[in-house]
Each structure stands twice: as structure tokens, then as C-alpha cells.
Structure 1
Amino acid sequence: MPTLFPEPRTTTETRSQRALGHTIVVPAGAEWAPTVPFVEPSEGVWRASLYHDVLYRCRGNLTRTPARVFNSCGNPRTLVSRRFADRFWLARMAAEGVPYWKRRSMYYSVRAVGLPIWIEKDQVSFT
């Protein structure tokens, strides 16, 4: 049976991924867990969710987190939008091989209910 709130995982090494012409670098110690209603997260969803969760926890303000986003020229960005975070996640799920129907249903679920989480109090957690 799918769990609504799976146990969080913590990165043990620095990770980086590229999508939408940007690279996101997340240092070791970041904690994350994909929480999409009614969908059991596969390993591909877990891997894609790391970057999405880090962007949501700092609400797109990268001065609040050790994570970094670089554009295609290698220049760092300090702010990203919620739309960028969601689209980056969608692109990473496609790259991880998550089936089209599953990644689209998860993406639209997050777009529909993610705003309260985006504007919530800062939740950055690096150990």
C-alpha cells in the first residue's frame, strides 16, 4: 500500500543534476522525501525529488541553503521560481525513466497543491 509520507532520506555525498539548461548542486546532508498523494514513489521519483525538495525548502531563495543552481553559462542564480522547481522536477523524472502518466499526474498534483508549502516558513535542513 502506498505511503502518504515516506521516511525521509539524507544525502551522503554531494549530488548534481542538469535539466532545463541549469545545473543544481546539492551538498551532503540534505534531507528529502517525495510526498505526492496516492502515488508510490519509485527510485526514479526519489532521485528526481531531491532537487525539487531542496528548492521548495528554501522557497527558491538559494541564499538560505548550501545548494546551488547554475545557468547554462555557469553563472550562479540566487532565486528560482516555484514553476522552475516544478518543471526541473518534471524534467528529472523524465530523465530517470518515470512513466509519462505517472510523472504528469505527480507534476499536476504538486502544481495544484504546492503553493502553501512554497510560501510556508523556512524548512532548510542540512546536518
Structure 2
Amino acid sequence: MYDNDISDVVGADRAHVWHHLTQHKPYETSDPRIMVEGKGIHVWDATGTRYLDGVSGGVWTVNVGYGRESIADAVREQLVKLNYFAGSVGSIPGALFAKRLIEKMPGLSRVYYNNSGSEAN
């Protein structure tokens, strides 16, 4: 599944990455799992083992599944046009998405875009 020598990646991961919600003691005697690909609700590690992802979708950022070509294409198109500008000015996708959100939230009139949970407070 992985084209290069995975031992370099495993070594770099073991030496330099602190994984959250993980007991690191086992990494002293066994290799950390390295994920390399995802499609739908499944992910594959560097050895080719397939897993059902029951973590990332519901809790973190993959709630629409992996490998969604339509999403990747839309993201690429926007990244090429304008990947970022300060939140002190508007943007076409930001304004149009805010309008769509407000249409689904009666009683609210504005959207505040933020970067993290810290900014949401």
C-alpha cells in the first residue's frame, strides 16, 4: 500500500510524534500503526490491513467518509482560486454558505466563522 520504505516513516513516527488518546508504552516493543489510505468508512494501514473507522467520522473530521471525489474537487477548485484571506473581509463561498446556514436556523441572522473551539467561546 505504501510505495516507500515504511521503516523510515515508522521510525520518524516513533521518535517525533506524540499521539493523543494513546498509550505509548507498546511502541517500545512494537511499531505504531501508520494509516495510508481511506475510502468510504474504511482505512488501510501501511501493511494493507483494512479497518472500519469507528472513531474519526463520528468524533472528529471525517463524518462524510474518505475519498469523496466531489468534495476533493470542490476543495481543490477553491484552493486554486483563493485558499485563504483574513476573516476581516468577506468571500463568495463564505457569504453564500452563511446565507444557506441562516435559512436553516430560524431566529438567527448572522454566522461567525471561527478557527477552533477556543475562538468559539
**Would the TM-score normalized by the shorter structure come out above 0.5?**
no
Return the index of the structure with the highest Cα Rg: 2
TM-score by length of 1: 0.25
Higher relative CO (Cα under 8 Å, sequence separation at least 6) belongs to 1
Structure with the higher strand share, 1 or 2: 1
State TM-score, norm by structure 2.
0.26
